[in-house]
Structure 1
Amino acid sequence: MEMALLAIDHLSFRYPKQAGRALDDISLEIEEGAFLLLCGASGSGKSTLVRHLKRELTPFGRVRGEVRYDGRALRELDARVAAAEIGFVLQKPQNQTVTDKVWHELAFGLESLGLSTPVIRRRVAEMASFFGIQEWFDRDVSTLSGGQLQMLNLASVMVMQPRVLILDEPTAQLDPIAAADFLETVRRINRTLAVTVVLTEHRLEEVFPMADRVAVMDGGRLLCCDTPRRVAEAFASGGAEHALFAGFPAAARIYAGAGGTGECPLTVREGSRWLQRHCPVPAVQGTEAGVPSKTQADGKAIPAVRMWDVWFRYDKKGRDVLRGASMKVYGGQIACLLGGNGVGKSTVLETIAGLHRPHRGTLELLGEKSTAYGGAEQYRGVVAMLPQDPQLLFVKDTVREDLAEADDGERLADVVREMELEALLERHPYDLSGGEQQKAAFAKLLLRGPRVILLDEPTKGLDAPFKQAFAAVLRRLAGQGTAILMATHDVEFAASFADRCLLFFNGTVVSEDAPVPFFAGNNFYTSAANRIARRVFPDAVTCEEVVQRCRSSETPCG
């Protein structure tokens, strides 16, 4: 029998001062050239497991069991072999770059291995051509967009010619188009170079069908590991009510929800074909089909946030990032700001939060000009912002201490329970997974009791079950009159839970509407459910809406 390239043998792991195991008796073999997708809820152990596959990133704690690479114990592997043959791409692209220029970033690892200059030049040129980055080869790393930066990180790993490529939620900070491009590049690396890929991800729509095998984790244990279709069919037939199934591809969820039979579809193309065969009914438009219409607030209401013709640039001689940006967000409303990486969404939030002063235009908060509040510190109790990097909010050694620092002494227990943080209170915030850090940071923000909440990519790293709980928290806050503005790449979340959606492009808002008219008919900035159903139910933008239409049609979907 052929030996697995990576073998995990009864691996258990416990973080310091933690009673429960982060990994509980994991055994898994990964063949050379395989593409393994590792999925599961936030805190299920995915990131902890993949970090045990890269010796230099193994977390500190109590370990039992063993990881073997090519038949050898990973801990005994030669340092040069470990560095060159096992590549790792982190979730945050900015945490992996070490030089100032793109070309130097590509060459850095090879220089560290002591390779000759001709070999370095040849490898760098080859990899730049493979990734199509010649046009920004001489640029400063600091000028790259999030998608370009993550692609550079991938290229910098691949120039080392690894046998194994490990990626820990690599698309978490990318917009839908950049994420699709990145994942397609990973697929091409696996198919054309026979590089073994191990990837953790919450956004399963694109990557699920790419994998050879899907491993599902829950509570530090391995629930199952099989082909993508078999895993989807197992959840669809016997476990569709399992919370994890909410994160599966839209085609599989629509199939399960509509009581489908036959082979479970995984892709948009398969889902569209299945739906057209089983629900060939005329399209029904508008709210008559049961799609709720979420409208703008009463014109007489005072906006909680009002931007009018706002211009801003970071450098006096630089280009304007905000170019006449105008928008209104009302109390009791969840507004989602969408757009590509680097278009200025974060700058909008930071400007509203008082971190930047526009050089032109008007900004009002709760009916008052922002200057009336005297600066960012005076916004306390009015505006609170969750930044894209939640670690910026952590100042203490444990989650409990961090929350207590923001608590008024009365609401801590309620917020901890609502954000599902009970098991994390004694952990250091930096030891948490990306999704757990998002939860803890948002809890700290809630304790401030703001009337305007600004969220920068708040759902990145969150599993599908907690997204539902997170949405319920946002809806409760909106019901109490809080205004919520979130910049997001999570189209599915915006389609399901937003009241208003705004598309930001070229420094300003170019389109604004309720979710159904906003997303219906778009090619890229729309949900997978809408792509699947557009030939049958063109104005359905969520899986739930498609299933509802299919079940209510005269033709059964089974």
Structure 2
Amino acid sequence: MARLDRGSVSGAACGPDMPAIEVRSLSFAYPGADAAVLEGLDWSVPQGAFELLVGGTGSGKSTLLSLLKPEIAPAGERTGDARVLGENVADMDVRASAERVGYVFQDPENQIVCETVWHEMAFGLENLGVSRDEMRRRVAETSYFFGLEDWLHRDTDTLSGGRKQLLSLAAVLALRPRVLLLDEPTSQLDPVAEKNFLHALFRVNRELGCTVVVATHQPRPMLEYATRAYRIEGGCICKVADIASLGHREELFSGEVSGWGASRRAKNGVFSSASGQLDSLGPRGGAPGAKKGLKSGKSAEFEVQILSQDDSGVPSRVGGGRILQKMHGGSATTLSEGWFRYDRAAGWVLRGLDVTFSAGAVHAIVGGNGCGKSTMLSVLAKTAKLQRGRMVRGAASAALLPQNPKALLVAETVRGELMEWASTCGYDEDAAQERAAQLGLDGLDARHPYDLSGGQRQLLALAKLLLIGPELLLLDEPTKGLDLANRRIIARALCEHAQAGGTVIMATHDLDFAEQVADDIAMMFDGEIACMEPPTDFFADNVFYRA
């Protein structure tokens, strides 16, 4: 692919010294929000740069990037000036925006509009009126660039989340934008695909002369490609002086060591919500509701789940009439000789799958994009049915958090989401608010779920599921779009669920999270489980999948 012709783009002429992006005194507040998410922000990105944008969940990274693309700019109160290649973003028409600014969403489901990969690649070109011959050439060379030939004629709804993310990037680059904005582009990619994706992105930057800005919570894999990094905090932006400092390993549990899952079982410990560290429980004897050996700050709900029972195991009633109990699952969930495919013409996704998941544990499933992880979760959730084989689900109830949390969000406000299932599942508003506080959703009651950051939507969807108390909790990429603080919140919630006797099965590409949280890690390959081992053993003998 040839380097882009800088003189071919419509709009104001721009020389090599003109910034690719220039933001001055930019402020933005969402409707009904108590405070602005961006305040007087100044930022400049030179042409040809590869920049990282870091910051906490909800800090405004996605908001800032979307304000540079007029078609997707959020509604709200905005002041200040934003320019791309010298042209005010507010003055750009649709064609100029498409040719200048490419945008890859955090959730590819929000971007893909066509039924097949080929048509998705051609969709933007068709809308720009590109000739048929030129369109075919661009689709062909972009497909070769990203290695899409083998699945060019696949239906988009049969692709894995990682392949959808790669398709979103390829379809945008077929338009040959001058500036490329990406929001958490590798969050659904396996470690090998992530390396290939970032190398392709580096080639786009270096060989095609495209300015690249990536908003990410996982900057470590990108440091060898990045030229600069900026951090958004408190509505302002500042340059990261030492970009190498972003490469340190993130410890989820301060003071804890690898293989924490095994130590949890051995110590019979729980988390202190205040510290995030492992605390050991005292003796469980005594009157129902006794709280021996428990440190302050741990959720009252969890204390009752663990301790507030009589000898028969009957739960006590607490907090607004809600019944909270320890889950005495005990029974394993198994798949035996499981075969599944989406239709008769398609290949098998699950091929004689045999696996057993014990109760009272956190299980992590890793593997390449398209290997069958999400499909297996759907089978366990009974939203997909095996064509052959047998499933025995030890849990009486199950809930699935899909890769795209918007599938669970239907209300107009955060409060409405939290209370949606209250009447049918028997919890009250106090319980909903307590769960929201545990997951860092305080103060967001009146916000529309779609005005939240991707990470906040993930936390909201998880809060809804935890409120109904499923024994089997199924999670597809639960840490996607989350910073360290919120990954700690998720880790605590999952471990508390397992400590209460529930079963957690998560498909994830977040190897650090899996290593520090899971009791065992299974690698899926070609529709089967290739191995299932404790984290220490799994990573000790793995060349490509390393935390």
Place the TM-score, normalised by the shorter chain, in its bin: 0.7 to 0.9
For 1:474, the equivalent position in structure 2 comes to 494
- Contact kept? 1:41, 1:463, Cα under 8 Å: yes
Distance 1:290 1:350 in 2: 30
The equivalent of 1:199 in structure 2 is: 214
1:294 to 254, 262, 268: 262
Correspondences of 1:315-326 after superposition (within 5 Å): 315-316=343-344, 318-326=346-354
* Distance across 2 between alignment mates of 1:231 and 1:117: 44
Q: 1:292 to 1:334 in 2, by over 3 A?
A: closer
Determine the structure 2 residue equivalent to 1:509: 529
Q: Write the distance in 1 (CA, Å) between the matches of 2:353 and 2:151.
A: 29
Selected match of 2:336 from 298, 308, 327: 308
1:249 is aligned to: 247
Change (3 A) 1:444 1:138: closer
User: Which position in structure 2 is the counterpart of 1:449?
Assistant: 469
> What is aligned with 1:340?
368
Equivalent residue, structure 2, for 1:349: 377
Percent sequence identity over aligned pairs:
41
**Structure 1 position 423 matched with structure 2 position 443:** yes
TM-score normalised per structure 2: 0.79
Q: CA deviation at 1:20?
A: 1.1
Cα 1:182–1:466 change in 2 (3 A) is same
TM-score, length-scaled by structure 1: 0.77
User: What is the aligned length?
Assistant: 463
Please state whether the residue corresponding to 1:450 is helix, strand or coil. Answer: coil
- Is residue 2:60 matched to residue 1:45? yes
1:508 Cα shift? 1.7
Match of 2:392 in 1: 364
- In 2, Cα distance between the equivalents of 1:205 and 1:328? 34
- Give the C-alpha shift of residue 66 in structure 1: 1.0
Q: Aligned letter for 1:474? A: L
Q: CA deviation at 1:350?
A: 1.6
Give per-residue Cα distances to partners, 1:203-256, cap 9 Å, x unaligned: 22211331111011123322x2146xx1444xxxxxxxxxxxxxx4246x79xx
Q: Which moved more, 1:447-456 or 1:44-53?
A: 447-456
For 2:220, the aligned partner's letter is E
Residues 43 and 219 of structure 1 are in contact (CA less than 8 Å); yes or no, is this contact kept in structure 2? no
* Partner AA of 2:59 in structure 1: S
With 337-346 and 69-78 compared, the bigger mean Cα shift is at 69-78
Shift of 1:135: 4.0
Write the mapping of 1:25-424 to structure 2, written as runs, cut at 5 A: 25-222=40-237, 224-226=238-240, 230-233=242-245, 248-250=246-248, 294=262, 302-316=330-344, 318-366=346-394, 382-407=397-422, 408-409=427-428, 410-424=430-444
Give the conservation status (yes or no) of the 8 Å contact 2:102–2:173.
Answer: yes
Letter in 2 for 1:431: D
Residue identity matched to 2:66:
R
Contact kept? 2:374, 2:507, Cα under 8 Å: yes
Paired AA for residue 334 in structure 1: V
Could you tell me which amino acid in structure 2 is paired with residue 72 of structure 1? E
Report Cα offsets for 1:463-518 as digits up to 9, x if no partner.
11111121112222222111111111111100111111111112221201100001
Could you tell me how far apart the structure 2 residues matched to 1:137 and 1:335 are?
A: 34
What amino acid is the match of 1:294?
A: A
- Residue aligned with 1:8, SS: strand
**Contact 2:179 2:210 (C-alpha < 8 Å) held by counterparts:** yes
- The counterpart of 2:36, out of the listed 6, 17, 21, is 21
TM superposition shift of 1:145:
4.0
- Amino acid corresponding to residue 336 of structure 2 in structure 1: W
Deviation at 1:462, TM superposition (A): 1.0
SS for the counterpart of 2:224 is helix
CA distance in 1, matches of 2:347, 2:190: 22
CA apart distance, 1:317:
5.2
Which letter maps to 1:182? F
Partner Cα distance (1:433, 1:419) in 2: 14
- SS of 1:160's partner is coil
- 8 Å contact 1:294–1:515 — kept in the other structure? no
CA contact (8 A) 2:21 2:83 kept: yes
- Equivalent pair of 1:107/1:156 in contact (CA under 8 Å): yes
Q: Please, what is the CA RMSD of the aligned residues? A: 2.7
Instruction: Specify every segment of 5 or more residues in structure 1 that has no aligned partner in the other structure, as ranges.
Output: 234-247, 259-288, 368-378, 528-558
CA offset digits 1:285-307 (Å, max 9, x no partner): xxxx9866829989xx9434222
Deviations 1:87-112 (A, max 9, x none): 11112223323333434333332222
CA distance in 1, matches of 2:134, 2:57: 42
Provide the rounded CA distance (Å) in 1 between the counterparts of 2:258 and 2:218: 27
User: Contact between 2:163 and 2:369, CA under 8 Å: does it hold in 1?
Assistant: no
Could you say what secondary structure the match of 1:424 adopts?
A: coil
CA distance in 1, matches of 2:264, 2:484: 28
Cα shift readout 1:35-84 (whole Å, capped 9, x = no counterpart): 11111111010000000111111100000111012223211124322221
Greater shift in the superposed pair: 396-405 or 342-351: 342-351
> CA distance change for structure 1 residues 101 and 361 in 2, over 3 Å: closer, same or farther?
closer
Is the 8 Å Cα contact of residues 304 and 452 (structure 1) preserved in structure 2?
no
Amino acid in structure 2 at the alignment position of 1:212:
T
Instruction: For residue 335 of structure 1, give the secondary structure of its aligned residue in structure 2.
Output: strand
Name the one with the larger helix percent. 1
Matching residue's letter, 1:6 = I
The equivalent of 1:432 in structure 2 is: 452
Distance in 2 (alpha carbons) for counterparts of 1:386 and 1:220: 30
Judged with a 3 Å threshold, the aligned counterparts in structure 2 of structure 1 residues 497 and 359 are, in CA distance, closer, same or farther, namely: same
Per-residue CA deviations over 1:515-541 (Å, capped at 9, x if unaligned) read: 0001113122221xxxxxxxxxxxxxx
